[in-house]
Structure 1
Amino acid sequence: MKNENHSRICIITVTGRDQVGIIARISRELAELGVNIIDVNQKIMSEELFVMTMACDMASSKAAMSELKQRLAEVGQQLDLRINCQDEKIFTQMHRV
């Protein structure tokens, strides 16, 4: 597990059907990898649609971004969620108005 994180901050977005344990499960994966959550926003939209955005600091993590993405993809499959993880700089460029 080589730390190949060029940026220390990553943005994780989660969408899917609301269900018990989403935040707990994702937080557990992040904690196991040594990733610190620095901001989180979540909302239930249109009765059952769960939407969450997390800003995470990977400075203390020994995991590479690729490993984080793989672990989150597995959680996404297990919970039937769409989970995206990207470098903060890329996220900001993509969402600039």
Structure 2
Amino acid sequence: MEKGIITVVGEDQVGIIAKVCTYLAENKLNILDISQTIIQGYFNMMMIIELQNSSKDFGLICDELENLGKEIGVNIKLQHENIFNKMHRI
């Protein structure tokens, strides 16, 4: 199973989760796990998603999520699970 890690960070506001989840559903990207928290007005979310069911190229998904983040005023990044694991290995 090919997985990706999405991080969403920014000032809290109504609709962040809804907009990100709508994008994922429209592109057949299933959420496997999700964690979100708000600390002193700052929103932080991490999601693990399945990538293989989308018909879009990984790079295009990354770009579209980044653009969605700009539209709603947060920073959204998608990394392939393998890259994420190597970058965060101690």
Aligned partner of residue 60 in structure 1, secondary structure:
coil
Aligned partner of residue 52 in structure 2, secondary structure:
coil
- CA offsets per residue over residues 3-25 of structure 1, 9 Å max, x none? xxxx7100000100001110110
Hey, which bits of structure 1, 4+ residues long, moved more than 4 A?
none
Shift of 1:66: 1.1
Stretches of structure 2 that go unaligned for 5 or more consecutive residues are none
- Let me know the Cα RMSD of the aligned residues: 1.1
% identical aligned pairs: 38
TM-score (norm 1): 0.88
- CA offsets per residue over residues 49-92 of structure 1, 9 Å max, x none? 10000000012111111111121111111111111101001001
Q: Distance in 1 between matches of 2:8 and 2:54?
A: 21
- CA offsets per residue over residues 21-51 of structure 1, 9 Å max, x none? 1011000111111110100000011x11100
* Partner residue, 1:67: 60
* Partner residue, 2:21: 27
Match of 2:35 among 41, 48, 58: 41
* Partner residue, 1:3: none
Q: Number of aligned pairs?
A: 90
Q: Distance in 2 between matches of 1:29 and 1:67?
A: 13
The answer to whether the 8 A contact 1:29-1:71 is kept is: no
TM-score (norm 2): 0.94
